[in-house]
Structure 1
């Protein structure tokens, strides 16, 4: 009942009815299901629920002393305040939060109300699982349902150390039922120079944009420094703020 109030949608008891039958009965294409196990979104035959993705493996690799390319590109230091403008599934936010340590913070923006809700609740459930590196990282993430340009415009200069963008759904994995369920909920619009100008104003150190390796987006946006692993399919465009410290 509380979830339905948060997103201003009617609460309907299932009464042992299947998802397809409920959707047909109420004339809807998507259904949010709240159970004791989790909150999930069902679209036709596809289901989306929160999952940390590769974050756990990436953190384990960092514990072994390996370099995470995103963390390196973002130049994350202990205690950093990070703004993730495209939260999505929150996997990058978890890794960034771990890298920033116990005194760091991550604010994650998600323009889709439903995705933000599912990720927020998923992170909250993760915090209840016990004391681990992942749960502590989850505790330091604040999620907000907001479009990044609106948020940036209303944020004072130099509020965050690093501002990060990963417009992942413009190049979503084809044929993935999990991603297909999310696709209709996401903002597919590309970044623009105004957004980057605002991000540069709001950051203290740098702005980082994640894209496919070889993407023409970096050229279009005027980003000249691009880093990435030799065999990685992704690359990171970096804009250093003048006087922002590390190069």
Structure 2
């Protein structure tokens, strides 16, 4: 199945300008693509030479870049964000070597399952999960993250064929998970997976640092988890950190809580098919 990407929640009223540009000494193709995406995103195109002064003055804090490989990234005060499924590749290598993975232990996926990934982010977990299931439906509320990741999913070509196949199983929407779930019928998905932003983030995770200024920090509450249970057929899985208080704040009985002693990651599961 080809990737379907739909932008639902485009942010047009920012406190600062958001623009799109190219890398230095751009190719003709890069300029043409940047101008096209400028129209698609509804943001101005700036020649790269004219951008530096506006950034220094604080008039531009977030800007998209099309490089000469036609890769799209977004630059924030904390770094550059772009799509790359490198962590999924490392995770698969570890799984093939060790024969186990805590996320898979939590999900218990089958080849015909459809997973709803409520907080898609960079899609690192989604690409890995998609290898083991029929399809992954994702929502990402941040327009900036959605634009970069959906573009990357549509263009990325890996030397690892399993990654190319997995990416084709992903459908991504630019939508808030709460509004998305309310429109779904009971038992719409086999598994619902949610990975909200951590309360105590691991700042050493350099791949995620550029994402932090763009991400939604809307946390889970009990009513949202009940919606997840309503639309799931087999189980829901919530990812958090052992030092976070998320699970303590939820009036939910979890059937399994899987903890990594090494990383402090926690996968809390409600099993509906027990």
Q: TM-score range by the shorter chain?
A: 0.7 to 0.9
2:36 corresponds to 1:2: yes
Question: CA RMSD, aligned part only?
Answer: 2.2
| Counterpart for residue 204 of structure 1 | 233
Identify the match of residue 267 of structure 2 among 222, 233, 236: 236
| Counterpart for residue 66 of structure 1 | 99
Identify the match of residue 50 of structure 1 among 83, 91, 94: 83
2:113 corresponds to 1:84: no
Distance in 2 (alpha carbons) for counterparts of 1:203 and 1:66: 27
- Which structure has greater helix proportion? 1
| Counterpart for residue 193 of structure 2 | 164
- 1:32-82 CA-partner distances (Å, limit 9, x unpaired): 111232111112462222222421011123334611111110111111100
CA 1:68/1:18 → structure 2, altered by over 3 Å: closer, same or farther? farther
Q: By how many angstroms is 1:30 displaced?
A: 1.3
CA 1:226/1:176 → structure 2, altered by over 3 Å: closer, same or farther? closer
Contact 1:23–1:31 under 8 Å retained in 2: no
Distance in 2 (alpha carbons) for counterparts of 1:175 and 1:66: 27
Contact 1:46–1:181 under 8 Å retained in 2: yes
Distance in 2 (alpha carbons) for counterparts of 1:230 and 1:23: 42
Q: By how many angstroms is 1:159 displaced?
A: 1.1
Identify the match of residue 66 of structure 2 among 30, 34, 38: 34
| Counterpart for residue 172 of structure 2 | 143
- 1:84-105 CA-partner distances (Å, limit 9, x unpaired): 00111101001110121xxx00
Distance in 2 (alpha carbons) for counterparts of 1:2 and 1:189: 32
Distance in 2 (alpha carbons) for counterparts of 1:210 and 1:22: 39
2:146 corresponds to 1:112: no
Contact 1:97–1:105 under 8 Å retained in 2: yes
2:129 corresponds to 1:96: yes
| TM-score w.r.t. length of structure 1 | 0.86
CA 1:51/1:130 → structure 2, altered by over 3 Å: closer, same or farther? closer
Distance in 1 (alpha carbons) for counterparts of 2:209 and 2:143: 17
Identify the match of residue 123 of structure 1 among 137, 153, 169: 153
CA 1:230/1:43 → structure 2, altered by over 3 Å: closer, same or farther? closer
- The gaps in structure 1 that reach 5 residues or longer are none
CA 1:210/1:176 → structure 2, altered by over 3 Å: closer, same or farther? closer
CA 1:45/1:200 → structure 2, altered by over 3 Å: closer, same or farther? closer
Q: By how many angstroms is 1:130 displaced?
A: 5.6
Distance in 2 (alpha carbons) for counterparts of 1:230 and 1:201: 31
Distance in 1 (alpha carbons) for counterparts of 2:40 and 2:127: 24
| TM-score w.r.t. length of structure 2 | 0.79
- Aligned residues, how many? 237
